[in-house]
């Protein structure tokens, strides 16, 4: 129900932000990448001051947001989360690439759960701690709790659905390579940690009718927009997909069809199932050295029931950086709707409350540890 009625909430009070800045990065492989920034404003400062906080505009952290399937900064759930982060004095930056939304696709390489090169590129090219500090200091002051931490702003990853798979894969790859990720902590929200089970849930009749067709329409629109490039993707069967009076590409009807004949082969697998198995969190997440919070919902209609607790406990024991698993009883898939008044006023929902409380605690703990380390020098 929360997922179904999410679209209704979009007609409530509109999300408006000041200090929005769109930055287009030079292509590193021929395809454009967009960073959509929002910075805290006087309005957010006033909200904090009313609650007893400081009235100056300062930044406590930078949240790098990765949306779900074909999503961008225009998505309702992204804008909701950005609003709550801004109110808590956290800058936000939304990553969009691979022909999604306003970005272009000039070279034949599409997004997938296993494709982390765009995220790696932005973290190395423009999200180093020095460059983030330089960017923020031009506009607003970072929150400086003490001299030892002067100017340092934690960089947090916040990712939804498919974006959560990309973020998880990235930090796992960096951990496996013993290389820094650039993040201080990451959050994944309603991400399919077992992609095979998620695909099976989406094939169930009700989910297929209510959600599967909508998701596939997004993929179909993506294909139609970029078909001149997608028809030349490496490793897909062009003859099977494109040739004849009734080419197979016109008869694809589901997300799994798209994975079977396009995404899976394109990223090096014989089909969708092999790709889904490789994209599972339980295969690689233990390599990550990054603190991570995984938020799932028991009634997620798209990715199905959560994985068994023993499986998560085993992964938590193996994880080097500190892994927290949170299972919420309700919320749907990216829905988390509250009462009508809460939706109209855009008050934080339960998921947003959880993420904000956790983030603020993490930042305060990091400050305390840094202060103690400075004292002991």
Mean pLDDT, residues 4-9: 44
Band of pLDDT at residue 373, cut at 50, 70 and 90: confident
Kindly state the greatest CA–CA separation across the chain: 75
| Mean pLDDT rounded to a whole number for the chain | 86
**Per-residue pLDDT tens digits for 240-269:** 999 888 899 999 999 999 999 999 999 999
Kindly state whether residues 104 and 246 are assigned to the same domain.
no
Quick one: 120 and 27 in the same domain? yes
Based on the domain organization, do 267 and 360 belong to the same domain?
A: no
Tell me, yes or no, whether 35 and 143 share the same domain.
yes
- Residues with catalytic roles: 161, 300, 333
Residue 54 has pLDDT above 50, yes or no: no
Question: Domain total for the chain?
Answer: 2
Q: Pick the last residue of a domain from 235, 250, 279.
A: 279
DSSP annotation of 167 = H
Q: How confident is the model at residue 198 (pLDDT cuts 50, 70, 90)?
A: very high
* One domain, residues 78 and 211: no
Structural domain contains residue 375: no
Kindly tell me if the per-residue pLDDT of 347 is higher than 50. Answer: yes
Mean pLDDT of 202-226: 91
Residue 374: inside a domain: no
Would residue 377 count as lying in a domain? no
- Is 306 inside any structural domain? yes
Q: Which residues span the domain enclosing 260?
A: 203-279
Task: Classify residue 87: in a domain, yes or no.
Answer: yes
State the CATH number of the domain containing residue 114: 3.40.50.1820
pTM (two decimals): 0.88
**What pLDDT is recorded for position 136?**
78
Q: Are residues 142 and 238 in the same domain?
A: no
Q: Say if residue 181 is in the same domain as residue 327.
A: yes
Domain boundary among 235, 256, 279: 279
- Residue 173 zone, left/alpha/beta (φ > 0; ψ -120 to 50; rest): alpha
Q: Are 41 and 52 in contact (CB under 8 A)?
A: no
The answer to whether residues 16 and 91 belong to one domain is yes
Q: How confident is the model at residue 17 (pLDDT cuts 50, 70, 90)?
A: low
190 within a domain of the structure (yes/no): yes
DSSP line for 118-157: HHHHHHHHT-SHHHHHHHHHTTSEEP-SSGGGTT---EEE
Per residue in 124-138, pLDDT (tens digit) is: 999 998 888 887 766
- 22-32 average pLDDT score: 88
- SS3 annotation, 324-364: EEEEECCCCCCCCCCCHHHHHHCCCCHHHHHHHHHHHHHHH
- To the nearest whole percent, how much of the chain has pLDDT over 70? 84
Of 246, 279, 312, at which residue does a domain stop? 279
């Amino acid at each position: 129900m929360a997922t179904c009625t999410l679209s209704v909430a979009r007609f409530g009070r509109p999300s408006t932000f000041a200090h929005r800045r769109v930055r287009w990065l030079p292509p590193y492989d021929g395809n454009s990448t967009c960073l959509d920034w929002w910075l805290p404003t006087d309005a957010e400062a006033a909200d904090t001051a009313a609650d007893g906080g400081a009235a100056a505009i300062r930044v406590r952290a930078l949240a790098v947001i990765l949306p779900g399937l074909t999503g961008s900064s225009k998505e309702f759930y992204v804008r909701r989360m950005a609003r709550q982060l801004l109110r808590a004095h956290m800058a936000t930056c939304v990553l969009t690439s691979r022909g999604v939304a306003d970005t272009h696709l000039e070279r034949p390489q599409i997004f997938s759960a296993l494709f982390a090169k765009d995220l790696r590129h932005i973290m190395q090219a423009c999200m180093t701690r020095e460059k983030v500090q330089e960017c923020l200091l031009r506009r607003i002051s970072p929150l400086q709790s003490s001299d030892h931490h002067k100017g340092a702003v934690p960089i947090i990853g916040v990712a939804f659905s498919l974006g959560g798979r990309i973020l998880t894969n990235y930090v796992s790859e960096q951990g496996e390579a013993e290389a820094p990720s650039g993040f201080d902590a990451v959050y994944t929200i309603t991400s399919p940690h077992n992609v095979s089970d998620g695909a099976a849930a989406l094939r169930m009749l009700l989910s297929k009718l209510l959600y599967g067709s909508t998701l596939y329409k997004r993929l179909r629109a993506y294909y139609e927009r970029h078909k001149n490039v997608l028809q030349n993707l490496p490793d897909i069967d062009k003859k099977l997909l494109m040739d004849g009076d009734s080419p197979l590409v016109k008869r694809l009807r589901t997300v799994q069809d798209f994975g079977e004949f396009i995404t899976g082969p394109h990223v090096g697998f014989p089909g969708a199932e092999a790709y889904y198995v490789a994209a599972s969190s339980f295969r690689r997440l233990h390599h990550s050295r990054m603190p991570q919070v995984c938020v799932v919902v028991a009634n997620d209609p798209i990715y199905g029931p959560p994985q068994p607790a023993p499986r998560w406990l085993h992964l938590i024991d193996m994880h080097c950086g500190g892994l927290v698993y949170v299972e919420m009883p309700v919320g749907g898939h990216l829905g988390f709707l509250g009462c009508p008044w809460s939706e109209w006023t855009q008050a934080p929902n339960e998921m947003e409350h959880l993420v904000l409380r956790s983030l603020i605690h993490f930042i305060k703990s990091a400050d305390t540890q840094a202060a103690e380390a400075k004292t002991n020098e």
